[in-house]
Amino acid sequence: MKRRVAITGIGFITPLGSDKKLFWEASCQGKNAVGKITAFDATGFPSRVAGEVKDFDPSKYLSLKDIKRTDRFVQFAMAASRAAIEDTGLNLSAVNKDRFGVIIGSGIGGIHIIESEHKILLEKGVDRLSPFFIPMLIVNMASGKVSMDLGLKGPNTCVATACATGTHAIGDAFKIIQRNDADFMICGGTEAAISPLAFGGFCAARSLSARNDDPEHASRPFDKQRDGFVMGEGSGVVVLEELEHAKSRNAHIYAEIIGYGMTADAYHMTAPDPEGKGATLCMKNCLKDAGVALTEVNYINAHGTSTVLNDKIETKAIKDTFGEYAYKIPISSTKSMMGHLLGAAGGIEAIVTALVIDNGIIPPTINYEFKDPECDLDYVPNKARKADVKIALSNSLGFGGHNCTIALRKV
């Protein structure tokens, strides 16, 4: 029999903050965390707005040695993981660490160290490169350092599927516990890519919003005047635990993970399939895996990037999946408040989805002002809504045509 899996801990570093209570209040109030870039001088860049983490002090979580030997994306993951473990109430010394694994992915990895070491190579030569350059940039180091920091020796890997990374990591971890290869998993995503090179690359791809004079309204998923996504940064991880074990210790269970779907568009490097067939199949596969009917779904946390194509095609995919019932499902986009956290987005959005189930409140899609006839569903515009959500989906769609959906249920 497949084992059941609960979310018993959450941890995050986001532009909206890292305190659980304050983050949830800000989310429900529709607070905006997008502003003009301060991380570097963006003069001359077509886009100059981002969702930055401005209050992060790595010394609160890491030793000085670890700070010097890790890129910002790894530091985010280590901080979020410690918070998630603390949130579970688990005593790590009392659990079997051979049965406790880690899957934390990143879409881009250590771009800051790549930029700084490349400058050193050009200006000072190869002899001046850091011996930690490669370990600091590789994507798997978030999972590696978290396992080292916490002494976790179970399944350990990473995912790199662009904007679907965090959701894939959680789905993969769910399956590992379900098939009895581990009892606990820390999983999710992390990203710190607000740098001149990465930001400039997205500008060159014409992916980003150019609403530079009005940054607070730049991220506007499903709104007719959307003009691109807003880059964000941060980390979102959850602790998954075998359900009966969680119940036996009276753990707080945010939600149960009950389904996981993943597909490929097999269409284009950056653009989604215009028919939305990959995203549709992904949601259908997830619901089949969960064993629930279409009409049992009470909420969808959309990928909702604020790009012209994504929002239109995700809307079409939801309608193709649910038919007329799609118009009865509340849908919201977390990215409207903090931007698109790339590889970390799915982790944060899984956390928000679990908090929706746990608290009975759906955060809004802010900046929704002008209706798009091609985006005609219930996006919970601008104001949070009370709702008894029993079953919810969280969607992630990534460059490369990667589609991923997880299903959560109230326990």
Report how far residue 179's alpha carbon sits from residue 400's, in angstroms, rounded to the nearest whole number: 28
CB within 8 A of 196, min separation 6: which ones? Answer: 40, 42, 115
Which H or E run contains 138? none
- The answer to whether residues 219 and 335 touch, using CB atoms and an 8 Å cutoff, is yes
Kindly name the residue from 112, 168, 217, 340 that is annotated as catalytic. Answer: 340
Categorise residue 276: left if φ over 0, alpha if ψ from -120 to 50, beta otherwise: left
**Sign of the CA dihedral with 334 first, then 234, 229, and 43 last:** positive
Exposed, middle or buried: residue 385 (CB in 10 Å: 0-12, 13-18, 19+)? middle
d(CA 13, CA 142): 14
Per the rule left: phi > 0, alpha: psi between -120 and 50, beta: everything else, 366 is beta
User: Residue 340 catalytic?
Assistant: yes
Closest listed residue to residue 158, CA positions, set 343, 294, 32, 18: 343
- Pairwise CA distance, residues 111 & 196, whole Å: 10
Among 158, 163, 282, 286, the active-site one is 163
Closest residue by Cα to residue 173 from 151, 192, 149, 152: 152
Catalytic pick among 168, 217, 303, 402: 303
* Positions marked active-site: 163, 303, 340
